[in-house]
Structure formats: structure tokens, C-alpha cells
Structure 1
């Protein structure tokens, strides 16, 4: 199933969605897809005219593949301009992921500050692609293309604080318009930046994730390359704190991300 088909499944059968192993990330489902599906379940309950401003996700446990998952949504508060929402992914009676979302209509303001500029990066055609290699790279990477332009690949003993390059979907043949659900997948496609510091393969995953969106979303399709840059702010005791940004090909800021990641080495 493609990304688009799984997102549609959330709308068609929110109480019974089954993710195939093709979207695996180790023993769990790819976190960017998990977040995108919960987001879609939440968005369906939000009044029109209130785009998402911020999401906060906690990965409570691994979402198993080939097992039904249900999506539950609660309206925490609905004000004149802002809706505060809570979404859960539940599998076998246990919560596997929680998302709190803030959706807000635009309002007049005298405050206008330009976005953080995109970092300098080599052209996409000059960057090394991370290929999908069965039983070596995560299964979900068959659906997302990443080209390295900054920092090191995972497990290459590269001490850089930065990691980044270009990313896009490569699963859907149609030129679908990019939505916030797509941006969630593009940002989380990248491995935790701390993994490049390791000399040998070891597990690593997101524990918590906060992401903010610049509205309105730039006019992009799923075939456009987006620019990603992550920076390690601190790492010790098996946890890393990483900030990141995602920009359009023309340098428009799309999303601002912060993750706490775990590394088992």
C-alpha cells in the first residue's frame, strides 16, 4: 500500500487500519507514517479554516504491522479561533502513540518576522542517495528518497552535529499536493542524527516529537525535493535532543521540528 492509500484507509475505516510490513522500521511501523495517520484522524474532526499550527507526539510503544490499529480523537477545547485536539493510536487495547494538536485560524497582527532561511546545500543531483537495500536499510525507505548533503550516514563514526540533505516521496506515481501529513513523513524519514556518531549498527528511535508548521503550506507536489537539516543540541545517557527544519526547493520554510531520541549504544 502506498502512503496515499494508507492515509485514505484512516478516513475509510478509522477503527480498523492494517499497515503492511513494507512500512516497517525495525520491529515497528515507521514513525512518520504513524504520526501522519493520527494527524489525518484528528484533522477530520477540526472545523474548516483552522490549519494545524503545532503537533506534539509521544511514541508510547511500537505499532505492530499486520495488526489492526484504531484511531481515537477527542476535542479538548474549541475556542473562537483555536481547536485543541487529542488523538490516539490504539492496538490490542493498548495506546501505542498519542498526539496533541493545536489548530488555529489566522488573525490580524502587527507582528511579521521572516522565516529562518534555508541552509546552504549542494544541489540534489550532487548528493549521495541512501538506497533501499533489503534487510539492511529500514523497509519504509523503499517509499522515501533521501540524498545526503550534510553530515554522515548512520553508523559511519562521523562526529558532526549536523545531518541533512534532500527528501521526497517516491511511492506515489501521481503528483499529489503536499499536505501536512506528507511533511510529517518527510521530516521523520531521516534517521536520528546521533546515529552517525556510532561505529556499528545499533537501534535508535524517536521518543517524543514536536513539530510546527508554517501556514499556508507551500504549493508543492509529492515529486518535489525538500531540504532538511537537523542539529544535535545535546546527547548523553542514551538520549539525544535534535532540532530540525524543512524547506521547499525554493527555500520557503515548511516545518520546524524537535525530537528527543533514544539510542541503544
Structure 2
């Protein structure tokens, strides 16, 4: 099943979504997909004129592939312009992912500040695409394409303060519109920015993740290469704090991301 197929499954059977093992990272399902599915379940319950503004995500425990997952939604409050929503992904009676989302309709304001433009990477065609090697990297990367343009590769013993490059969905069939659910998948596709500091493979995963969406979202499709840059702000004692941004192909800001990452190495 591709990404869009799984998103559609939330619409038809949100209480029993099964994620195939091809979407795993180690023993767990790909975190970006888990976030996307939980977001989609929440999006269904909120009026369409209230786009998502921010999501706060905690990965409580690993969600197993091939085992049904229930995506639950609770509306905490609906004000005149803003809806506050809580989502829980449940598997075997346990919470695997928690998400608190803020959805807000636009309102009049005299404030208008332009966002930072995309960094000047070398052209995407001049960047080598990271090949997918089953068994040597997370399985979900068979569906995602990365082209490295900044910093070292994971486990290359490169103490770079930042990593970045380009990302899109690997399938080049019919182009499909990119929604905020797809953005969650693209942002989390990139490995933790701490991994290039290591000289040999070691597990690493997101503990918490907050992401904010620029609204209205620029029009993107699954063939578009987006630019990504993540900066390490602090790392010690097996925890790292990173800030990242995602831009569209025209340099327009799409999302602002922050993660607390655990690294076992």
C-alpha cells in the first residue's frame, strides 16, 4: 500500500488500520506515517474552513506493523475560530502516539511578515539520490526519495551542525495533491540530524515532535522536490534538540518543525 492508500484507510476504517511491514523503521511503524494517519483522523472531525496551524506529537511507544491500530479523536474545544483536538493511536490496548492539534480559521490582522526563503542548495539534479537498500536502512525509505545537499550522511562521523537537501515521494506515477498529511511524511522522512556525528550504526528515534504549518499551504504535488534543513541546537546524554524547516520548490516556506530525539550511541 502506498501513502495515499493508507491515508484513505483512515476514512473507511479508522478503528482497524493495518500498516504493512514495508512502512516500518526497525521494530516500529514509520513515525511520519503514524502522525499523518492520526492527523487525518482528526482532520475529518474539524470544519474544513479551519486549517491546521500546529500539531504537538508524542511517540509514547512503538506501533507494530501488521497489527490493527485504532485512531481515536476527541474534540477538546470548538471556539469561534479555533478548534482544539486530541488524538490517540491505540494498539493492543496501549497508547502508541498522542497528538494535540490546533485548527484555526483565518482572521483579519494588520500584521504580515514574510517567512525565510529556502537555503541556497546546489540544484536537485546535481545531488545524488540516496538509494534504497533493504535491510541496511529503514524499510519505509522504499517509498521516499532523498537527495543530500548539506552535512554528512548518517554514521559518517561528520560533526556537522546541520543536514539538509531535497525530499519527495518516490513513486512517479500520476501526480497527486500534497496535503498536510503528506507534509508530515516528508518532514519525518529525514533521519535525525544527530546521526552523522556517529561513526557506526545506532538506533535513534523521535521522542516528541511539534510542527507548524504555513497557511494557506502552497500548492504542491507528489512529483515536487521540497527543500529541507535541520539544525542541531543542543545534544547531550543521548538526547538531541533540532529545529527544521521545509520549503516548496519555489522557495516558499511550508512547515516549521522541532523534535526531541533519542540516540542510543
TM-score range, shorter chain: over 0.9
Does residue 127 of structure 2 align to residue 127 of structure 1?
yes
Q: Distance in 1 between matches of 2:43 and 2:117?
A: 29
> Displacement of 1:13 after TM fit?
0.2
Secondary structure (helix, strand or coil) at the match of 2:62 reads: coil
Secondary structure (helix, strand or coil) at the match of 2:257 reads: strand
Residue of structure 2 in register with 1:227 after alignment: 227
Q: Distance in 2 between matches of 1:30 and 1:37?
A: 11
Residue of structure 1 in register with 2:44 after alignment: 44
> Displacement of 1:128 after TM fit?
2.2
> Displacement of 1:171 after TM fit?
3.2
> Displacement of 1:172 after TM fit?
6.3
Residue of structure 2 in register with 1:29 after alignment: 29
| 1:164-195 deviations in Å (ceiling 9; x for gaps) | 00000013622111100000000000000000
Residue of structure 2 in register with 1:10 after alignment: 10
Q: Distance in 1 between matches of 2:238 and 2:115?
A: 33
Which segments of 5 or more consecutive residues in structure 1 lack a partner in the other structure? none
Contact 1:3 1:172 in 2 (8 A): no
Q: Distance in 2 between matches of 1:28 and 1:184?
A: 17
Contact 1:4 1:172 in 2 (8 A): no
Which runs of structure 2 are paired with 1:162-241 in the superposition (5 Å)? 162-171=162-171, 173-241=173-241
Contact 1:72 1:88 in 2 (8 A): yes
Secondary structure (helix, strand or coil) at the match of 1:233 reads: strand
Which runs of structure 2 are paired with 1:52-63 in the superposition (5 Å)? 52-63=52-63
Which segments of 5 or more consecutive residues in structure 2 lack a partner in the other structure? none
> Displacement of 1:197 after TM fit?
0.1
Q: Distance in 2 between matches of 1:44 and 1:145?
A: 28
Instruction: Decide which moves more: 114-123 or 89-98.
Output: 114-123
Give the structure-1-normalised TM-score.
0.99
| 1:17-62 deviations in Å (ceiling 9; x for gaps) | 0000000101100000000000000000001200000000000000
Q: Distance in 2 between matches of 1:172 and 1:217?
A: 22
Does residue 163 of structure 2 align to residue 159 of structure 1?
no
Runs of 4+ in structure 1 deviating by more than 6 angstroms, as ranges, are none
Q: Distance in 2 between matches of 1:248 and 1:160?
A: 24
Which runs of structure 2 are paired with 1:82-121 in the superposition (5 Å)? 82-121=82-121
